[in-house]
């Protein structure tokens, strides 16, 4: 079990267009006791965030229909979803991406390729900082 004060499995919404990545991250997160929901593009991600109110969102930036930057901005502007922590996943370890992630309101940032274990650690770090 993960260390958290929530008495149910926290739900992580993975917004990622690459199916292999979704499988890797979701398998790893379920292994560590999380519940997982998935979306393949930004529009679906926004919809699932609003309807499912996950405990945290993993947001790939390069995704179809609505890109990750725009999706984060829309979710952070909406009072219903503004409080959901979002971890951005960007393809390049560019300093400008890290700055932009902070500017648009992301709570965490991971540069791809990221180890599945690093994803789990970042998710746990943010959830624990929210519940303490």
CB of 40 to Mn ion, least distance (A): 10
Helix (H, G, I), strand (E, B) or coil at 90: strand
In the complex with Mn ion, which residue's Cβ is closer, 2 or 62? Answer: 62
Task: Please report, as residue ranges, which positions from 59 to 118 form the binding site for Mn ion (by CB under 5 A).
Answer: 60, 62
Please state, in angstroms and rounded to a whole number, the distance separating the CA atoms of residues 6 and 45. Answer: 23
The kind and range of the H/E element at 81 are none
The site string for Mn ion over 41-60 (x = CB under 5 A, - otherwise) reads: -------------------x
Are the beta carbons of 29 and 10 closer than 8 angstroms?
A: no
Considering the rule CB under 5 A, would residue 17 count as an interface residue with Mn ion? Answer: yes
Residue 61: count other Cβ atoms within 10 Å of its Cβ: 24
Which residue has the closest beta carbon to Mn ion? 62
Q: Which residues bind Mn ion (CB under 5 A)?
A: 17, 60, 62
């Amino acid at each position: 079990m993960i260390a958290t004060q929530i008495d149910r499995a926290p739900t992580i919404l993975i917004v990622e267009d690459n199916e292999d990545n979704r499988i890797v991250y979701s398998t790893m997160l379920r292994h560590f006791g999380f519940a997982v929901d998935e979306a393949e593009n930004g529009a679906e991600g926004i919809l699932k965030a609003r309807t499912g109110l996950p405990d945290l969102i993993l947001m790939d930036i390069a995704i179809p229909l609505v890109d990750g930057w725009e999706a984060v901005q829309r979710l952070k502007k909406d009072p219903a979803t503004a409080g959901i922590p979002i971890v951005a996943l960007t393809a390049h370890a560019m300093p400008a991406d890290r700055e932009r992630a902070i500017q648009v309101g992301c709570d965490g940032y991971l540069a791809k390729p990221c180890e599945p274990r690093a994803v789990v650690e970042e998710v746990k770090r943010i959830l624990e900082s929210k519940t303490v």
